[in-house]
Structure formats: structure tokens, C-alpha cells
Amino acid sequence: MLAFNFFGATEGGLFDINATLPLMAIQVVALTYILNSLFFKPVGNVVEKREKFVSNNIIEAKNKLSEVKKLEADLLTQLQSARTEAQRIVSEAEDESDKLYKEALELANNEANASKEKARLEIESQTSAARDQLSKQADDLSELIVNRLILEK
Amino acid sequence: MFFNSLLTNFAALEVGQHLYWQIGNIRLHGQVFLTSWILLGALLVFISLGTKKMENDPKGLQNLLEFLWDYIRDLARTQIGEKVYRDWMPFIGTLFLFVFVSNWGGALIPWRLIKLPSGELGAPTADINTTIALALLVSLSYFYAGLSNKGWRYFEYYVHPTPIMLPFKILEDFTKPLSLSFRLFGNILADELVVGVLVFLVPLILPIPVMFLGLFTSAIQALIFATLAAYYIGEAVEEHH
């Protein structure tokens, strides 16, 4: 054994190495096993379970967030297309109504023109008939006058 | 001569005296076992209380123990590496807790009030047997870690990066346990002696800052011991390319 007197101690000394050494080593090894089953394993299980739980939740939240972003973008494009579609429908309807209005206007105009023309022709024919009658009556009258004048004489 | 006469004046310090237990023909330092049993008992009670009702939502003691566990895991992981730190974490943690509890227990509890027939109670780590036991366990561990992880390729470490390193690496296997054990032993013993001498000379106030320094040293020594043990194991399992 490595043992020498230190500080004048008669027995032992600071560097007195004996069976304390192996027994202490066995004690520390036993302590390692005890602490492993009493401390390191149970606490490790709890901590790692929690770490897993937290990281899983973070991953899940990230997935959900990206899904939400995708849906948002989807909705935005849908909204955009719906808006352009609505605009197209509105302008189409406007065009249609414009066309219908124009057609109706034209139709009405034509009808009015036609009836105006008809009325004019009628007026004209009646005017000429009246004029013919009038000139015939004038002729008759003038002949009557002439005959009477000749007979008087 | 001067030294001896000085020491007779400091008889109250009882340096190098032990409480011998005789079992068959083996002799033990009883005071080391007594204090270590008290301190480890307290540690085990503390840990049992803290892990009695484990919850997912830690409270009180469990919180403290989880912090400790996390601290030890970080220590083991940074020194040993991601791959095998899990296997060695209980050993590193036990070394840290044992050294820490021994150092602080030795410094904080007024053991001197308990009179023994011979020697006096104190930090178990102030006994060379304890520190050599711990250091030899570290040596065995890193050999075992290296051999079990890499087989015979472990010995490539001795000629890495060049065969010139061989004698130095072999020498290192002896200096590692030597430095580990003597560093811890020396620091804790010196702290106990300084506090003892100061208390002997000036029993009031003056020893208090030194006691705080001792607590600081004790904690640092525990950290150094655990870190170096982890580093040696990490060095043994490290893959060279």
C-alpha cells in the first residue's frame, strides 16, 4: 500500500490508501444504478415525452398554418376569378340590354315611319280625289253657266 | 521542524487522521463512509421526493430535478456526442451528483460538532481513496466505451494522427486518473484546511468569505470532474477519419 507519513501523523496520513478505495468504487457503481432507475430514467422519460409532445405540436401547427395559407391563396384566386366573372356577366348584360333597347327603338321608329307614310299617302289620295271631284264639279258648273248664257241669248 | 511544531499547535485540525474500521484484515476509513452515507441518503431522499409524483406540468422539486437532468444531459451531449451520450449520461450524472453533494455537504454541514474517537467527519472527496476510486472508474469507463464502440480499432486512437504520439497517449492513460484524483482531492482538502485554519485563528466573520469561496470551488470541481470524465469518454468513442 502506498502509505507514507504526512504532517507527522503516526498512523494513516493523507495518502493512506486502503480498502476504502475499492469499496467506494463499488458504492459509486451501485449509486449509478440506483440513480439511473430512480432519477435519470423517470425524469428522462417525462422530459423527453414532453419534448416530443411540444415538437409534435409545433410541427402540427406549422402544417396547419401552411394549409391555412394555401387555402387563403386558393380563396383569393377564387375570389379574383369570381370578380372577373361577375364583371363579365354585368358587361354582357349591359350589352344585351343596350342591343335590345336599340332594336326596340328601331322597330318603333320603323313602325312610326310606316304609319306616317301610310297616313301621308292616304291624305294625298284623298286630296287628289277631292281635287278631281272639285274640278269635275267646276267643269259641270262652268258648262251649266255656259249653257244658260247661250240659252238666254 | 518548524512545520512539525506549527502542526502541534494546530492539533485541533487533525490532518491525516482517520477513524479506522477493521473488518477481517481489511481496514477502512470509517469517517468517509459515514459522511458519504449521510449525504447520499439525503440525495436519494431528495430525488425520491422529487420523482414521487411526476407530472407533465412540472412543479416544485420535479422542476428542479428536470433542470438538473437537462443540465447533465447537455454536459454529456456536448462532451460525448449525440451518438452514445445516452449510455453514459447516468454515469456522468452520478459522478457530478456524487462529487457535488460530497463537496457541498462537506463544506456546508458543521461536521466538526460531531466528535469521533479519531479523525473527523468531512467531505468524502477530501479523502484520497474516494477520488482515486472515482478516477479509476472514469479510466475503466473510457476504455470500456472505446472498446465496446469501436472494438480493436479503439487503439488507432493511440497512433492518431501519427505513431509518434504513441508514448504520449500511453502516458496520458496514467496522467488522466492521476490528475483527476489529485485535482479533486487537493482542492477539497485545501479548502477544508484553509477554512479550518481560519476558524482556528479568527473564529468570527473572517472565515465566511473563504467559506463562500469554498462553496464556489466545490461546485466548480464537481463540474470539472464530470466534464473531464465525459470528455475522456467522448475522446475514446470519437471516430477518426
CA-nearest of B112, B75, B106, B110 to B93 is: B75
Where exactly are the structural domains of chain B?
2-237
What local confidence, expressed as pLDDT, does residue A6 receive? 42
The answer for B 97-136 residues in CB contact with A (under 8 A) is: 97-98, 124, 127-130, 132-134, 136
What local confidence, expressed as pLDDT, does residue B116 receive? 83
User: What residues have CB less than 8 Å from A13, skipping those under 6 apart?
Assistant: A3, A4, A5, A6, A7, B16
Residue of B63, B67, B129 to mutate, interface with A, max A Cβ within 10 Å: B129
- Of A2-11, A57-66, B126-135, B200-209, minimum mean pLDDT range: A2-11
Question: Cβ of A39 and B89 within 8 Å?
Answer: no
Chain A residues lying within 8 Å of B7, measured CB to CB: 7-8
Report chain B (241 residues): mean pLDDT per 10 consecutive residues: 49 72 87 93 94 84 93 95 92 96 90 83 91 96 94 89 91 95 94 87 86 92 96 90 66
- What average pLDDT does this structure show over A90-104? 96
What local confidence, expressed as pLDDT, does residue A2 receive? 39
Q: SS in 3 state form for chain A?
A: CCCCCCCCCCCCCCCCCCCHHHHHHHHHHHHHHHHHHHHHHHHHHHHHHHHHHHHHHHHHHHHHHHHHHHHHHHHHHHHHHHHHHHHHHHHHHHHHHHHHHHHHHHHHHHHHHHHHHHHHHHHHHHHHHHHHHHHHHHHHHHHHHHHHHHHHC
3-state class (DSSP) for residue B22:
strand
Residue of chain B nearest A49, judged by CA positions: B56
- What average pLDDT does this structure show over A35-62? 94
Residue of A33, A43, A46 to mutate, interface with B, max B Cβ within 10 Å: A43
Contact B92, B230 (CB under 8 A): yes
The answer for B 146-185 residues in CB contact with A (under 8 A) is: none
Residue of B3, B13, B18, B140 to mutate, interface with A, max A Cβ within 10 Å: B18
Question: CA-to-CA distance for B42 and B31, rounded, in angstroms?
Answer: 17
- What average pLDDT does this structure show over A112-127? 94
pLDDT at A9 over 90: no
Chain A residues lying within 8 Å of B70, measured CB to CB: 47
Facing residue for A40 by CB, picked from B36, B90, B127: B90
Q: SS in 3 state form for B191-210?
A: HHHHHHHHHHHCCCCCHHHH
Q: Is B66 part of the contact surface with chain A (CB cutoff 8 Å)?
A: yes
Under the banding of pLDDT at 50, 70 and 90, the label for residue A153 is: confident
What local confidence, expressed as pLDDT, does residue A38 receive? 93
The C-alpha cell that represents A38 in the structure block: 430512480
Residue of chain B nearest A53, judged by CA positions: B56
The number of residues in chain B equals: 241
What local confidence, expressed as pLDDT, does residue B228 receive? 96
Q: Is A28 part of the contact surface with chain B (CB cutoff 8 Å)?
A: yes
Q: Is A24 part of the contact surface with chain B (CB cutoff 8 Å)?
A: yes
pLDDT at A22 over 90: yes
